[in-house]
Amino acid sequence: MSRPCRGREEGFSLVAALFVLVVLALLATIMVTLSGVQARTPLLALQGTRGFQAARSGIEWGVSQVLPPAGVPAPCFAPATFPLAGPGLAGFSVTVTCSETLHTEVTLSPNPYRVYALEAVATTGTYGSGEYISRRMQATVTAAP
């Protein structure tokens, strides 16, 4: 009887072991990355909600500027940018812009009424980074003559 040649079979288990190790290392890397994403997702959702509220506060500020408590509509203001402070909104910066048009409806009143288009953009963080949040809100306000 002749003995089979074992020289060709000796390295096969080493290649299989290396393949298994590489696959396990890739799976571990994917799991660590996904757990990091899962940990950040609720935080980014919370920051998005804060950004929405910051933009909303900018709209409310704009409405208070064009419709003061005295009841006389004011002309549009120049674009304004201001930082927010306070719990939950610290770190956000809001830019509010206004445009105004006059409209006259002869059937209702010969006096023109004003229509204000307000836009507020709230941002925090640096654009392009993973911490950047931006929310935009628009509102239309009509002031009777």
- Cα(136)–Cα(94) distance, rounded to whole angstroms? 10
Banded model confidence at residue 88, pLDDT cuts 50, 70, 90: confident
Q: Is the dihedral of CA 47, 51, 53, 54 positive or negative?
A: positive
* Alpha carbon distance 145, 141 (integer Å): 13
Quick check: 93 pLDDT over 90? yes
pLDDT-wise least confident of 26-30, 54-58, 108-112: 108-112
Q: Which of 92, 90, 88, 91 is nearest to 46 (CA)?
A: 88
Buried b (16+ CB within 10 A) or exposed e, 2-35: eeeeeeeeeeeeeeeeeeeeeeeeeeeeeeeeee
pTM over 0.75: no
Residue 48: other Cβ atoms inside 10 A: 13
Structure tokens given for 78? 């120049």
Question: 130 or 132: whose pLDDT is higher?
Answer: 132
**CA 61 – CA 79 distance, rounded (Å):** 12
Q: Is the pLDDT of residue 41 over 80?
A: no
Residues in the chain: 145
